A and B are shown apart, each in its own frame.
Chain A
């Protein structure tokens, strides 16, 4: 990143300097942002909450093997269901700590494994969105012309469909037929399928703002200077332009992740996301609805976990946004 770029950015964003505080010399914009984030205790607390959820979910195999002694798909209908098929509620003991579900599976174990699946899909979808949106947004904004037209129309086409309708349509079709990517084939019940669908659906939400920023940046003098120096297009895009949109992209990461997890839960709830018997918070909520009002825990427990996780990322993401660019107003409208 050229010195001129850093100067350009710092001179425009007056909110970055901490008013009334003596700053050490040579502090870059990211160090400044980190200082601001560190002072935001609420954001850090919720970030910690999210991290705690992630760690607990990652420890699912340990809990399953050493504490609950039951796998996520192990059914115990004889001990966990009464003669009418009603599951037991929370026992607050190692086995069936949070109760059982409609086929006698341990809810706590499925909650953690479901969290792993939901978080994995959320993370993969986020990566897909960010990578594709950054690439396409930069290409569209830098080259403009027919390429920009093509990419922008593609964004608008995806954006025109309500997210859940598009997700359901793709989810149902791919669940039956699977997806042949050429170099590999994903089966209908692969977790990568909902990740891919959600990742692609959210590309326009990041791609359009990135494109907008690149449209402005390409006219700057430092880009002209780079061209004068004989740098190729690829070098200019990824050495000069990309660092300048990085802050925008970083802000989007927690927002997209929260939306991806929520979307996965919604699609799984509707039967178009994670396929049974694989657990996810959405499928657990969907199965739990059928047991209302007798076994409320089957729906409430995954619902609370989902809320805590998404709340954690959202508030932390707000903190990151405020730390990086207090004037930015980023929303994702459905």
Chain B
């Protein structure tokens, strides 16, 4: 017996170590990339004065690294939250909570544009004397360069530009060396943009982060680790891909601050924590200050967090979650097969898996958006269990039963769990579904690459501006199908949709309510066709540490936490 004591106790010690390691708090659990995302759960607490209202550093934890810190590439919530402070464009959205935050304010432009030529010509003049964060003078022609760069580098929302600005499409195809529809005068700062046809949401587009001024010295290639110089209250620094970055106060901004776009009060340190439980725990125990508004408070902590009314609030931010069904791939090139999926998706289950923060729904336009249909869901009450037997029948009728289906899934809680549920649903109705999980930071870049032709998978859309055009032009418009940066994952090209969009796009933003019923009809049509299968609308969390003055923080319905409003108590 004695000679086995040592290996026996050694084995027990190993077992104990394994158990402790499994209980460890290191946030590397869900990362599928090279192991670099997800650092230890608590770094040294950000410094900063505990007294006074300015100074110090706030730590923001985000579940995934932005698609890119280069504003000409990124079109994600994590990136937008940064770029609307570091790379201002001609216009911006008001730094305000609630509906007020959807108003457009002049940024680099002096005032709202003059619209003429039957809605096809936009003219504005930029403020004089502005300088980028490195001191380079900002010129009117820099906007032309920046838009050309957006198109050349395949910005995910480049469709906003190529389908509207005259000459942009030719530039995108390589038929022109510059965009003929934009003329600028650097001496006076006057900028004139000609459109191919009236487009009611054009000023909204000019306010989206990504349409920003960049100096012409910026390389015409992606610069994710060394983001281009911009003009704004903050400057991006210390980029470590998939680990974190910092936003330092731009010392040159305060003297040229734009009205309505205040200079920041604290430096920002952004760290990536792919485990949302660790992310929420960090903020709960005040070792981090801000929770990523694009993430979901996990089930294990939602009850505890929601009780902290002095630092937590959930906002409706017009965000739709849906499954895309590629209409060019079997079995989803079959309408009956798609409708079967719409019948089978278990929306109440998905809502539970999403910590109860998801409101089940079936229309693409979210409830707060103009054009959200008020009629019943064509596939049954989204709050009731799904009609799986009918779905199975439809799959059999369509002749597509047994077809292998690859479900593309983002490796992030609860999106992975949603995808597992969805794959189980597809298997239940007669398909052979398997999951293909992609690391967070690479997911959208991967499914946006057209040659991958993803069959079906997770997608979501957070409103960029309060106009249904935002959803449709990117997600369902055939003109949005591009080789790189494609958001029309379904590759849908429906003549009825195209003709309706042609009529709806020119409706001016301030008259959008007049077109609400027509948008609603179109949204109902898209739902019935089941090109996309929305399953719910998620509220976004504003969740801060006790260190931050919650009453002073602005939560934009479009860009999330306004870092420039963060200040210590």
A: residues with CB less than 8 A from B are 40, 42-43, 73-75, 77-78, 81-87, 102-104, 165, 168-169, 172, 175-176, 187-189, 262, 269-272, 275-277, 285-286, 289-295, 299, 303-304, 306-307, 310-311, 314-315, 318-319, 322
Contacts and interface: CB of A to CB of B under 8 A. Distances in A.
Contacts of B292: none
Contacts of B33: 172
Contacts of B414: 85, 102
A290 B275 CA distance: 7
Contact of B385 (A78, A82, A303): A78
Contact of B416 (A87, A269, A276): A276
A77 B349 contact: yes
B45 interface: no
B348 interface: yes
B276 A290 contact: yes
Contact of A311 (B12, B349, B439): B12
Given A270-B28, A276-B435, A299-B23, 19 more contacts: A43-B4, A73-B427, A84-B355, A85-B299, A85-B356, A102-B414, A169-B34, A175-B32, A189-B435, A269-B22, A270-B31, A289-B277, A294-B301, A299-B22, A304-B19, A307-B19, A310-B14, A310-B15, A314-B11
Return the 9 tightest CB-CB contacts between A and B, nearest first.
Answer: A77-B349, A85-B299, A294-B300, A271-B32, A307-B15, A81-B352, A318-B7, A277-B420, A85-B355
B384 to A, nearest CB: 11
A73, A271, A319: residue with the most chain B Cβ atoms closer than 10 Å: A271
A277 B423 contact: yes
A304 B18 CA distance: 9
Contacts of B438: 176
B410 to A, nearest CB: 12
B484 interface: no
A286 B11 CA distance: 23
B346 A85 contact: no
B300 A292 contact: yes
Contacts of A87: 299
Contacts of B445: none
Contacts of A303: 18-19, 22
Contacts of A85: 298-299, 302, 352-356, 414
A254 to B, nearest CB: 12
Given A40-B4, A303-B18, A276 B437 contact: yes
A286 B38 CA distance: 13
Contacts of A188: 436
A4 B439 CA distance: 59
Contacts of A319: 4
A290 B421 contact: no
Contact of A74 (B15, B299, B348, B424): B424
A102 B30 contact: no
A292 B298 CA distance: 10
Nearest to A101: B417
Q: How large is the interface on B (under 10, 10 to 19, 20 to 34, 35 or more residues)?
A: 35 or more
Contacts of A306: 18
Contacts, number: 162
A73 B424 contact: yes
26 contacts: A42-B4, A73-B420, A75-B346, A75-B424, A77-B348, A77-B349, A81-B352, A84-B299, A84-B352, A84-B355, A102-B299, A102-B413, A103-B420, A187-B434, A189-B436, A262-B18, A269-B22, A270-B28, A271-B411, A276-B420, A290-B413, A292-B277, A303-B19, A304-B19, A310-B18, A315-B7
Contact of A275 (B18, B28, B303, B435): B435
Contacts of A84: 299, 302-303, 352, 355-356
Interface string B500-529: 000000000000000000000000000000
B187 interface: no
A86 B424 contact: no
Nearest to B301: A294
B8 interface: yes
B114 interface: no
B98 interface: no
Nearest to A77: B349
A169 B31 CA distance: 12
Contacts of B411: 271
Given A83-B352, A276-B435, A307-B18, A290 B29 contact: yes
B75 to A, nearest CB: 23
A109 B437 CA distance: 23
Given A176-B436, A277-B435, A294-B300, A286 B30 contact: yes
A78, A86, A189, A295: residue with the most chain B Cβ atoms closer than 10 Å: A86
Interface in B350-399: 350, 352-356, 385
Contacts of B301: 294
B35 interface: yes
Contacts of B303: 84
A85 B31 CA distance: 22
Contacts of A289: 22, 29, 275, 277
A286 B275 CA distance: 10
Contact of B349 (A104, A262, A291, A314): A104
Contacts of A285: 22
A77 B7 contact: no
A10 to B, nearest CB: 23
Contact of B356 (A83, A104, A307): A83
A272 B32 contact: yes
A104 B300 CA distance: 14
Interface string B306-338: 000000000000000000000000000000000
B35 A290 contact: no
B254 to A, nearest CB: 42
Nearest to B12: A311
Contacts of B421: 75, 77, 103
Contacts of A102: 299, 353, 413-414, 417
Contacts of B15: 307, 310-311
A289 B28 CA distance: 10
Contacts of A175: 32, 437
B22, B348, B427: residue with the most chain A Cβ atoms closer than 10 Å: B22
Contacts of B23: 292, 299
A276 to B, nearest CB: 6
A197 to B, nearest CB: 14
A314 B12 CA distance: 10
Contacts of B350: 77
A69 to B, nearest CB: 15
Interface string B524-556: 000000000000000000000000000000000
B353 A81 contact: yes
A289 B276 CA distance: 10
Nearest to A165: B35
Contacts of B300: 86, 290-295
B4 A270 contact: no
B15, B348, B413: residue with the most chain A Cβ atoms closer than 10 Å: B15
Nearest to B20: A303
Contacts of A40: 4
Contacts of B275: 289-290
A175 B275 CA distance: 21
Contacts of A43: 4
A289 to B, nearest CB: 5
A300 to B, nearest CB: 8
